[in-house]
């Protein structure tokens, strides 16, 4: 799992991103991660994208990556992990002059009803 926060730097369209990685089963911080961060603009796939940059471990599952985008707007941030295991994490963010916000696209949540005596369960797509 990843939480991403990108803040604008003094340079136009350059962002310092802090990525917090946690194990999806235990919730423990991922201390030995190695991964590249790239970005693509979903409204113009393949036209506006950035070359991958290496994320650097700071402490307790927090990593930093400096990304330089081509324009403001909605971007897909792609984290390709090599360690602790091969994986890809994709986050949709909206970048502006200040930094990034999580996209307004919300994960669908379906609550299923069960017969008497069973609890409701949330399922996520």
pTM for the full predicted model? 0.76
User: Residue 103: its pLDDT value, please?
Assistant: 53
Of the candidate ranges 3-12, 51-60, 98-107, the one whose mean pLDDT is the lowest: 98-107
Higher-confidence position of 107 and 49:
49
Beta bridge partners of 39: 50, 77
User: Residue 68: its pLDDT value, please?
Assistant: 95
Domains in the chain (CATH in brackets) are 2-124 (2.60.40)
User: Residue 49: its pLDDT value, please?
Assistant: 73
């Amino acid at each position: 799992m990843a939480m991403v926060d990108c803040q604008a730097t003094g340079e136009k369209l350059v962002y310092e991103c802090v990525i917090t990685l946690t194990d999806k089963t235990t919730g423990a911080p991922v201390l030995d991660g190695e991964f590249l961060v790239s970005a693509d603009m979903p409204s113009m796939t393949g036209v506006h994208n950035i070359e991958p940059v290496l994320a650097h471990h700071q402490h307790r599952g927090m990593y930093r990556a400096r990304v330089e985008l081509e324009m403001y707007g909605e971007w897909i941030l792609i984290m390709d992990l090599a360690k602790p295991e091969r994986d890809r994490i994709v986050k949709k963010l909206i970048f502006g002059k200040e930094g990034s916000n999580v996209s307004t696209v919300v994960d669908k949540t379906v609550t299923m009803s069960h017969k008497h005596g069973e609890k409701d369960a949330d399922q996520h797509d």
